[in-house]
Chains A and B, each alone.
Chain A
Amino acid sequence: MMKIENLKASIDGKEILRGLNLEVKPGEVHAIMGPNGSGKSTLASVLAGREDYEVTDGTVTFNGQSLLDMDPEIRAREGLFLAFQYPVEIPGVSNMNFLKAAVGEMRKHRGQDPLTAKEFLALVKEKSALVELDGQLANRAVNEGFSGGEKKRNEVFQMAMLEPTLAILDETDSGLDIDALRIVAQGVNAMRSPERSFVVITHYQRLLDYIVPDVVHVLYKGQIVKTGPKELALELEEKGYDWIKETVA
């Protein structure tokens, strides 16, 4: 699915990712944990193709292709999805029109016919039910005036609509209330399949009770410094990061 080798990236001359390696196989769920500022969102942004970051070294293969050579929209159309840590608002653009355009591009890229209005609405209905998204929200402008939790739920709704092969969820659990957390996790679980992989960035073991990962990584100072089974998350929750920082230092 995706293989990251020795990835180095910097912003404004400051190196944030410092030789990162990670391999995600089809159907796997990887959790990435790590202290604030360790580079988790940076990794997500670099994978999604944000221009502000300069990739100085390393390779990323995504479904056999070089991911770093693709424009951001092509990465998306090739099946890479990023649920943003801070989803942006786009005033005046209805969620529906936005998704309609996005779904249209995905289908065009895959050589599929565009959906009819009726098919599209049916899809919206199905997917919004999956994350119990209020129908009202679907009709409002993209994230405009949404609460923090609503924005996160909307991200998962969009993911469900776009059916990516690799989804990166950047702290999608933060800001969610307990019920919402469960609902969002259920939505993700419903999408798990042997062809679809997830990279779940989180600070809390709690989410991983619902979305059970195959592997847990610790990202620290721009590198994956520890990898382990799902129990590693429990251990981190209990002991914090100091013991890992020590082993690195």
Chain B
Amino acid sequence: MEILDEITGKDYEFGFTTNIESDKIPAGLNEGVIRLISQKKNEPQWLLDWRLDAFKIWQTMQEPEWAHVQYTKPDFQAISYYAAPKSKPKINSLDDLDPEMRKTMDKLGISLDEQKRLNGIAVDFVMDSVSVATSFKEKLGELGIIFCSISEAIQNHGELVQKYLGTVVPKKDNFYAALNSAVFTDGSFCYIPKGVKCPMELSTYFRINEGGTGQFERTLVIADEESYVSYLEGCTAPQRDENQLHAAVVELIALERAEIKYSTVQNWYPGDKEGKGGVFNFVTKRGLCDGYKSKISWTQVETGSAVTWKYPSCVLKGDYSVGEFYSVAVTNHFQQADTGTKMIHIGRNSHSTIISKGISAGKSNNSYRGLVQINPSAQNARNFSQCDSLLMTDQCGAHTFPYIEVNNSTAQVEHEATTSKIGEDQIFYCLQRGLDEEQAISMIVNGYAKEVLNKLPMEFAVEAQKLLAISLEGSVG
């Protein structure tokens, strides 16, 4: 222990010269920075070693270039990798907020109190959501469900974190996963004990320790045998962030007969109408169906970010395991999205379903990239994929890259794809029935995406519908 202290201390000495008291460490990435992050978070040695190992791996890797997106590569030495939560910019009243953002929130029907909460403005009276969150925590505690930030979990449930962290998305998985493993500072942790059906939707939104989502978020969800959980990530309110690069890692583990339903609404700042600014969202999300009859469903509504690179995937290891992917991805103006899924069939009789609905508007580019891989052991595996693209203008693009690898002759794989342009006839039909153009587009687009929206939990679905409409305002041409 003493030796370790000495070593950490030493590196620290020469690699690094910051006042520990400050909230933000200077830009740049090296071993010293990683040690500092780990130290500031008071982490156990195993995690520091793990991070350092990830950093070594990352240094040997190249930023991937295969995705159908174009962007200026981030300068990793220009990013500050640790900032204490309290450094989140303080806003004192809603009047200080970007009027565009407020307009959107109003349209989404988000109440004033809720808007304040989302923007970290103190509210003087007890708000519904806060009291809900408190009773919520008590209830979860009674059932033995652990739902907290990953930092808390590292302190209080270290053995669980150590057992599962990096087992689904290994450090060396890809460039951004390696980077995340080295420097993650925030994220969520969830453990559902054996046989427990979580009675409510778990949402990051209700996690009380908030303080802003990190740039390198790390999420770990474990559903023990015969348990069930529905997890919601993100919210429909527009989210602005000064950090241009977001590289999250989400790992899900479903043991025997367990089910995880993971729903995401992603609405990061997409950049302005000229394509300036906006978040780069490079996420690695993967679920492991580890046990017999385990099931993982990914449902996502993606409307934000300037560049999105994201493939929530399932490794179907258990026999009779089930993987599902339901996605609506909207791109407008100059947004670029390369998203899809991977279904890796290992277990016998494993089944997967992929429904992807891309919507492109403006001058944007929307790509679906999907891999269905049937391994030799996956006797009787089944996959059904349907990838539809809807074009709102003549200048936008939709691309489909399906990769299918079948290594077992008993497998059945079906793939369907369509591309259509939003019909002026459809819009005119709606106008003739008294709906305005916004309503018309909203109806048509929501109808198109219905199969996916239906998979969202109720409270999310309604907001997601509005969100789609807002993202596509004035987009027909």
Contact = CB atoms under 8 A, between A and B. Distances in A.
Interface residues of B, number: 23
Interface in B437-452: 437, 439, 443-444, 446-451
Given A73-B436, A98-B443, A101-B439, A92 B431 contact: no
A98 B437 CA distance: 14
Contacts of B449: 92
A88 B431 contact: no
A156 to B, nearest CB: 14
A81 B434 CA distance: 9
Contact of A102 (B424, B433, B437, B444): B433
Contact of A88 (B429, B435, B437): B429
Contact of A90 (B424, B426, B431, B432): B426
Interface string B406-448: 0000000000000000011110111111111101000110111
Interface string A84-115: 10011111110001110110011001000000
A180 B449 CA distance: 34
B460 to A, nearest CB: 18
A72 B431 contact: yes
Nearest to B442: A101
A32 interface: no
Given A98-B443, A101-B443, A90 B435 contact: no
B444 A73 contact: no
Contacts of B446: 92-93
A162 B433 contact: yes
B450 A92 contact: yes
Given A91-B448, A93-B443, A141-B447, A50 B428 contact: yes
Contacts of A73: 431-432, 434-437
Contacts of A91: 447-448
Contact of B431 (A49, A81, A162): A49
A166 to B, nearest CB: 13
A77 interface: yes
A138 interface: no
A67 interface: no
A181 interface: no
A200 interface: no
Contact of A162 (B434, B444, B450): B434
A81 B429 CA distance: 11
Closest 9 CB pairs of A and B: A92-B447, A93-B447, A92-B450, A105-B434, A102-B433, A72-B431, A76-B434, A88-B425, A73-B431
28 contacts: A51-B428, A71-B431, A71-B436, A72-B432, A73-B435, A76-B433, A82-B432, A84-B429, A87-B429, A90-B429, A91-B447, A91-B448, A92-B446, A92-B448, A92-B451, A93-B443, A93-B444, A93-B446, A93-B447, A97-B443, A98-B443, A99-B433, A102-B434, A102-B435, A105-B433, A105-B436, A109-B434, A141-B447
